Amino acid sequence: MTGAAPRLAAALAMGLLFGLGLSLSGMLDPARVQGFLDVGGAWDPTLIFVLGGAVSVALAGFALARRLPRPVLDTRFDLPARRRIDAPLIGGAALFGVGWGLSGLCPGPAVAALSTGALPILVFVPAMLVGMAAFRLIRGAR
Amino acid sequence: MHPYWAGLAGGALIGLSVAGLMLLNGRIAGISGVVAGLGQDRGERRWADLAFVGGLIGGPALFAWLSGEWPTMRFVASLPVLALAGLLVGFGTRLGSGCTSGHGVAGLARLSPRSLAAVLTFLAAGMVTVAVLRGLPQ
């Protein structure tokens, strides 16, 4: 077991790599993302290339991870336990899809773009945080 | 560079980040989960969330420093619509346990049927939404 510093450095480096990849991929551009969803109009297939590149590399990385007894810097792999395809999963994904279509923004690009200081991002991200907090409140109240 | 090749190369970097966070720290790089974790995780895990999000925000600045220009951003919605969309994205990604990164990249790479169902659902919902938007009088 190593100390916390290497794990925090790894998290910072992987976040930076993620943000760099998003920037290079063109996915920070809401018009391009919305263009991908516009299958009946001027369809822009770029997102397929981004997803294809990302999933291919991640697939290889996860295949390697399955051969390791534990992560390089930590004691265990933290994987989602849930398996069931249920109403919250589908309902949540549908609500997310509507918001994504309306804005051309999803959490990764929106948060990364905070560094641009663009006003639309400064409206979208706080609203997203309110949506997340609302979910916590509702779930907590149940 | 053609947008498709930039997309593929940028995607590969995203995949490297997702693979790296799993191999090094054993964690899924799902942005909605990590951002929500800022508010609910405790101790070192919260610091790790903060480090990842800090890096993510620094990404476009690093891109600007390397390439000499900031990434293109053309916004497509008014501020009130962006606020509504933000609420839907925030609530929906928590209810649905993930977004384009957690389900779309990490989930598909783990061959998770749950993530595939989520991806097909948010793609369909997004496409229907854009079709409806295009059908409205501008």
Query: Structural domain boundaries of chain A?
Result: 4-141
* Side chain identity at residue B112, one-letter code: S
Indicate the burial class of B66 (C-beta count within 10 angstroms; 0-12, 13-18, 19 or more): exposed
Distance separating alpha carbons of residues B14 and B91, to the nearest angstrom:
24
User: What are the pLDDT digits (tens) for A95-139?
Assistant: 999 999 999 999 999 999 999 999 999 999 999 999 999 999 998
Kindly indicate the confidence band of residue A84, based on its pLDDT and cuts at 50, 70 and 90: very high
Exposure b/e, A117-138, CB count within 10 A at least 16 = b: eeebbebbbebbbebbbebeee
Chain A residues whose beta carbon lies within 8 Å of the beta carbon of residue B9? 24-25, 53
**Average pLDDT in chain A:** 95
The answer to whether B98 and B31 are in contact (CB under 8 A) is no
* Side chain identity at residue B49, one-letter code: D
Kindly indicate the confidence band of residue A81, based on its pLDDT and cuts at 50, 70 and 90: confident
Distance separating alpha carbons of residues A49 and B8, to the nearest angstrom:
5
Distance separating alpha carbons of residues A19 and B84, to the nearest angstrom:
24
CA A50 from chain centre, in angstroms, equals: 13
A25: closest CA of chain B, how far (Å): 4
Q: What is the CA radius of gyration of chain B?
A: 17
Confidence at residue A3, expressed as pLDDT on a 0 to 100 scale: 82
For chain B, give percent helix, strand, coil, nearest 5: 80, 0, 20
Residue B30: name the closest of B112, B91, B90, B100 by CA.
B100
Does A2 have pLDDT greater than 80?
no
Confidence at residue B126, expressed as pLDDT on a 0 to 100 scale: 98
The answer to whether A12 and B15 are in contact (CB under 8 A) is no
Confidence at residue B138, expressed as pLDDT on a 0 to 100 scale: 62
A34: closest CA of chain B, how far (Å): 7
Share of chain A above pLDDT 90, in %: 90
Chain B residues whose beta carbon lies within 8 Å of the beta carbon of residue A38? 127, 130-131, 134
CA A120 from chain centre, in angstroms, equals: 19
Does A1 have pLDDT greater than 80?
no
Residue recorded with tokens 């497509």: B76
Confidence at residue A141, expressed as pLDDT on a 0 to 100 scale: 65
pLDDT means per 10 residues in chain B (138 residues)?
Answer: 94 98 96 95 94 98 97 98 98 97 96 97 98 85
Q: Which residue of A has its CA nearest to B51?
A: A12
User: What are the pLDDT digits (tens) for A45-75?
Assistant: 999 999 999 999 999 999 999 999 999 999 9
* Side chain identity at residue A2, one-letter code: T
A4: closest CA of chain B, how far (Å): 7
Distance separating alpha carbons of residues B17 and B29, to the nearest angstrom:
8
Q: Do B60 and A28 touch (CB under 8 A)?
A: yes
Kindly indicate the confidence band of residue A28, based on its pLDDT and cuts at 50, 70 and 90: very high
Domain residue limits, chain B: 3-135
Query: From the CB of residue B113, how many other CB atoms can be counted at a distance below 10 Å?
Result: 11
Chain B residues whose beta carbon lies within 8 Å of the beta carbon of residue A80? 28, 97, 112, 114
- Alpha helices in chain B, H assignment, sequence order: 3-25, 31-40, 43-67, 79-95, 108-109, 113-135
The answer to whether A13 and B19 are in contact (CB under 8 A) is no
Distance separating alpha carbons of residues A7 and B26, to the nearest angstrom:
10
